[in-house]
Amino acid sequence: MTLKDLAEYNGHDGKPSYVAVSGTIYDVSKSPLWEGGNHVNAHQAGCDLTEELKSAPHVRAVIERFPVVGKLEMATEAKPTKEGGLPMVSIVIMALVLILLIITFII
């Protein structure tokens, strides 16, 4: 499940409340502390709470008691590729050598 998919499970309009922590997605819907997809006005369901949980007053074991419903797919950024690469460098070097040869024979 992607972050975009996870956002749909925010506990609103009868939808279940899912949260992600360290790549694992938990269903917190049945917890009275997550009523309406909001946890004590501090956290919203449908989000990755990995960073927020680091400063939570309870231990991580609390969230791990909830049913696991999936894994979070982390989006990877497409790295721009440089067109040309080594072949282009070779062409430039050959052109410079050719220019130097022409200049050498003209002078």
Give the domain ranges of the chain: 1-76
The residue that leads in pLDDT, 82 or 73, is: 73
DSSP 8-class letter at 107: -
Average pLDDT value for residue range 67-85: 71
Task: Give residue-wise pLDDT tens across range 11-65.
Answer: 999 999 999 999 999 999 999 999 999 998 888 999 999 988 887 777 678 889 9
- pLDDT for residue 80 is more than 60: no
Q: State the architecture of 1-76 in CATH terms.
A: Roll (3.10)
pLDDT score for 85: 61
CA 23 → CA 10, 19, 78, 97, distances in Å? 17, 10, 20, 54
By the 8 A CB rule, do 18 and 44 touch? no
